[in-house]
A and B are shown apart, each in its own frame.
Chain A
Amino acid sequence: MAHYDMLVIGTGPAGQKAAVQAAKLSKRVAIIEQKMVVGGVCINTGTIPSKSLREAVLYLSGFRQRGLYGASYRVKQDITMEDLAFRCNHVVKREIEIIENQMARNHVDLIMGCAGFRDPHRLAIRTQTGTLEHTADYIVIATGTKPARPAHIPFDDERIIDTDGLLTLKRLPTSLTIVGGGVIGCEYASILATMGLKVVLVERRPRLLEFVDTEIIEALQFQMGEIGVTLRLNEEVVSIEKSSDGQVTVNLKSGKPVTASTLMYSAGRMGNSEDLNLEAVGIKPDERGRLRVNENFQTDVPHIYAAGDIVGFPALASTSMQQGRHAACHAFGLACETETHLLPYGIYSIPEISMVGRNEEELTKADIPYGVGIARYREIARGQLIGDEIGMLKLLFHRRTRQLLGVHAIGDGATELIHIGQAVIAYGGKIDYFIGTVFNYPTLAECYRVAALDGINRLPRPWPAESHVGDDSTSPT
């Protein structure tokens, strides 16, 4: 038994960063992992494998070169699971090495085992060789999530899989039905359709990804149609049947049957809290196993923090890392600010989507008079070069002060591109920044300038003076 300054449960992005941050503050830290490998779902079944898959698909399908070679161009005719898994496994292995290395370098003890609370400062850890007990001043729960598997869905991990199941299949499905149009559903639907699979995406709501800008989603939905995804929005699943010829049929409430060789049922994710013995400390997870935290990621028990997917939305690796760091800083009395309005969101669909700052609906609700400036990738040289016909970048800015309020992008490289706007928002910059700036040519970054010019040109002229801007909507013209 040992006493630590901090014990971290879970080695995903949130846990890693909490541990490393505490170690950098010269604290004694141990991190506990239940699986045989570190990294959490991010490395092993989630983010990294799906992003590696995406990169492999983009490459092998020749998608990136479609502008030059046409939509039907393909480098490799039949992409196999082996082609895809090969690269994935390589990346995953390397990432695991990097994490183990980082822990070792920072003198973070790595304990392989399943942790549960004994009391608010004590964890019992079941390892292969027996049970250990360690105590700590602070404990960070970063155990992440797993796919929810509702009891009425006959998962068999072969023809009916959850969202973690695709990468362990022996053979690629010939056709796929995805139920659930969340981030993961959209990512897999677009990636697999790009490979040439027939994909049907079923979603209960009238549109995909409700937290994303409407115009961006329209572009995504359009593009999905182009690459062969059939969208079934506003549809509910009534029943699921497996037929003897190996097909799976999903019956929708509207009477439509949807048949494919494989069904991926995405019913959201559940927090991994059941093994933690939380009753011992009096923390109660919600019905999805998630934990409630305050703005400093403290649970109801102040010295026990929770960070990452287990605290719910947005459940992105990027934000989880920041949460982990924030929790560790807060625990040891270091000032830490997480500026939530500056968090970027990245969705790795094809095309990818990213955004930072506010969206139109939020601004309208807050009665902030905003202007919109749009650039389409096809208007700039780099967009021509990569042949991205869908890509667009949209700036939202204050009509009077021209302060940048939000950036929304869809298209190749959107998740990288967004960070330029993020910096300008962080410094309270105006869209004039983009006009007075020289960007490398040809790059996608030029979209910022084109969008800013577009936005300014749309403002009524002469540009309103300070005094009568409050009522833009009623300006007499």
Chain B
Amino acid sequence: MAIKEMTDYDLLVIGSGPAGQKAAIQAAKLGKRVAITEKEPNVGGASVNTGTLPSKTLKDAIAYLHGFKLRSFSNISYSLKKVLTLRDLMARKDLVIKQELEIVTHQLERNDIEILHGHASFVDPHTLQVTPAKGPGSVCRAGHIVIATGSRPRRADGLPFNQKTICDSDGILATDFIPRTLTVMGGGVVGCEYASMFAAFGIKVTLLDRRKELLRFVDQEIVQALIYHLRANGVIVQLGEELAGVTEDQRGHVVTSLKSGKTIVSDMLLYAMGRISNTDSLNLSAIGLATDPMGVLKVNEHYQTEIPHIYAVGDVIGFPALASTSMEQGRLAACHAFNVKQSGLPKIMPYGIYTIPEISTVGKTEEELTDASVPYQVGRAFYREIARGQIFGDVHGQLKLLFHRNTLQLLGVHIIGEGATELIHIGQAVLTYGGNVDYFVHSVFNYPTLAECYRTAALDGLNRLGL
């Protein structure tokens, strides 16, 4: 293989997903010479190409259709299914991906960031070999290196994946096969998002998980509400089930066998049991970096690996593995590398789960507060109590505030319902400023908006204090 001459950079970023992009742009804004390597033909990482954005586009489109049901336009006699098919929706997502790719590429170019197409691996702690699919490779040196290679769906050994009827979460977006029945193995974020989405579209879904509960880091009352919605949309939720084996029968149906003896037959199986970090091909052994069994790299609070000038950010370092946090991690790593003082990742971060209905949460859960023996009070508002909820027709959505019984300080906000991922940021601001629930009582909110839920919930909570 021909090797081009060596190039020197201030910062080399491996991977062009959200974390890598923001690290590269931050360094470039500081006047540094930056390159970003990407092994796929497209920049953007899983976020743009297979993960966040495509699934959110799909979710949006399906939620829109679902919204028709909610809004009770029931005197309308035409069939929506005729107007829009799932196949259409799948095709539409490509358009959004294309637009977003243009934005990312444009942003990198505008900041004079070199894009090196090819697979990167370590030669020594300051040197990377970049090998493109075809053509000559190159060797680059850099003062600092950021690993932002992301993750990929974990595949169980022995499962006959064909990315048509037996898919991981990358495959399900690429296939044009539309199942009538779907089995989802894995009740994490990805599993719940797809299960709710396909169910809202009228596909019969069975959702399975090994554990006794879904989404363990989310307030369990909110999870219960999600399960209620899933069931209302025809999803069968079976928890505490382990996979025994998967086969295809002669008619092409997928037969999923569980250790409990149950068998589930469906047109498609989605296997969504976690993700694995993309570290195996970085040749980390050459520089003496080790990962855990899931390929996850360990970092300190500045996102430095055990080798101080090598940083790791984004999905590759594990939880929470959200595009939003990954971006901030990337930016912080670049700032740290070039001695720009930053206060670190904020302690109060929202989580957004794009199920139908959406879930979003910030601050502490009831479980956490109980464990910490913090005396808290719950205040609740249902969307149906406020005018905007009526207009949406979302009668099940709810917002729950947790606040300290004595100081009235806001401790957590948990929302399920349309627009939850946007709505959470109001509570986030109040939490960050250490505000009290009083804030919501004294504030005037636009009418009619979902934001009024905050006031209703605060009043509910304060009334329950019995003061």
Contact = CB atoms under 8 A, between A and B. Distances in A.
A3 to B, nearest CB: 27
A380 B361 CA distance: 22
B255 interface: no
Contact of B322 (A83, A90, A441): A441
Given A69-B92, A420-B429, A440 B71 contact: no
A437 interface: yes
Given A69-B92, A440-B360, A87 B72 contact: yes
B95 A443 contact: no
A413 interface: yes
B454 to A, nearest CB: 8
Given A86-B75, A439-B350, A417 B53 contact: no
Given A416-B422, A427-B433, A438-B346, A82 B75 contact: yes
A279 interface: no
Interface stretch (A127-135, A260-268, A288-296, A311-319): A311-319
A301 interface: no
A90 B74 CA distance: 11
A321 B325 contact: no
A51 B448 contact: yes
Contacts of A417: 422
Given A91-B391, A95-B387, A68 B95 contact: yes
B319 interface: no
A115 to B, nearest CB: 25
Interface residues of A, number: 70
Nearest to A457: B29
Interface stretch (A58-66, A155-163, A232-240, A395-403): A58-66
A51 B391 contact: yes
Contacts of B61: 65, 68
A415 interface: yes
A83 B322 CA distance: 41
Interface in B359-402: 360, 384-385, 387, 390-392
Contact of B432 (A338, A413, A433): A433
Contacts of B445: 318, 344, 419
Given A48-B387, A342-B444, A423 B439 contact: yes
Give the one of A354, A416, A424, A436 with max B CB within 10 A: A416
A322 interface: yes
Given A95-B390, A344-B446, A385-B57, A437 B428 contact: yes
Contacts of B443: 342, 419, 422-423, 426
A281 interface: no
B73 A87 contact: yes
A218 B247 CA distance: 61
A438 B328 contact: yes
A418 B73 contact: no
A313 B193 CA distance: 45
A48 B352 contact: no
A438 B425 CA distance: 9
A55 B391 contact: yes
A460 interface: no
A441 B385 contact: no
B428 A321 contact: no
B429 A318 contact: no
A386 interface: yes
A440 B352 contact: yes
B60 interface: yes
B345 interface: yes
Nearest to A60: B73
A153 interface: no
A359 interface: no
B78 A76 contact: yes
Contacts of A436: 343, 346
A442 B73 contact: no
Interface string A357-396: 0000000000000000000000101001110000000000
Contacts of B95: 68
Contacts of B18: 441
Contacts, number: 189
A95 to B, nearest CB: 6
A413 B422 contact: yes
B237 to A, nearest CB: 25
Contacts of A215: none
Contacts of A90: 72
A92 B52 CA distance: 38
A334 interface: no
A47 interface: yes
A25 interface: no
A321 B56 contact: no
B316 to A, nearest CB: 17
B57 A94 contact: no
Contact of B425 (A75, A87, A439): A439
A98 B92 CA distance: 40
A96 B293 CA distance: 59
Given A55-B71, A443-B425, A419 B446 contact: yes
Contacts of A322: 444
Contacts of A52: 391
A80 to B, nearest CB: 9
B96 interface: yes
Contacts of B444: 318-319, 321-322, 338, 342-344
A91 B52 contact: no
A192 interface: no
A13 B447 CA distance: 10
A76 B83 CA distance: 9
Given A47-B448, A51-B448, A385-B53, A443 B352 contact: yes
Contact of A416 (B80, B322, B419): B419
B385 A445 contact: no
Nearest to B426: A419
Contact of A438 (B75, B345, B451): B345
B422 A437 contact: no
A173 interface: no
Interface in B435-449: 435, 439, 442-449
A438 B390 contact: no
A379 B103 contact: yes
A285 interface: no
B71 A68 contact: no
A68 B96 contact: yes
A416 B448 contact: no
A429 interface: yes
B410 to A, nearest CB: 11
B448 A48 contact: yes
A423 B426 contact: yes
Contacts of B426: 419-420, 422-423
B429 A424 contact: yes
Interface string A321-339: 1100000000000000111
A59 B68 contact: yes
Contacts of B352: 440-441, 443
Contacts of A379: 103
Interface of B: 18, 52-53, 56-57, 60-61, 64, 67-68, 71-76, 78, 80, 83, 92, 95-96, 99-100, 103, 322-325, 327-328, 343, 345-346, 349-352, 360, 384-385, 387, 390-392, 419, 421-426, 428-430, 432-433, 435, 439, 442-451
7 nearest A-B residue pairs (beta carbon): A440-B352, A346-B446, A423-B429, A318-B447, A441-B324, A427-B433, A317-B447
Interface of A: 13, 47-48, 51-52, 55-56, 59-60, 64-65, 67-69, 75-76, 82-83, 86-87, 90-91, 94-95, 98, 316-319, 321-322, 337-339, 342-346, 354, 379, 381, 384-386, 413, 415-420, 422-424, 426-427, 429, 433, 436-445, 448
Given A68-B96, A321-B447, 4 more contacts: A68-B92, A318-B445, A416-B423, A438-B327
22 contacts: A55-B392, A64-B64, A68-B92, A83-B73, A86-B72, A87-B71, A87-B73, A316-B446, A317-B447, A319-B444, A343-B444, A346-B449, A384-B100, A415-B446, A419-B446, A436-B343, A437-B429, A440-B351, A440-B422, A441-B322, A443-B352, A448-B425
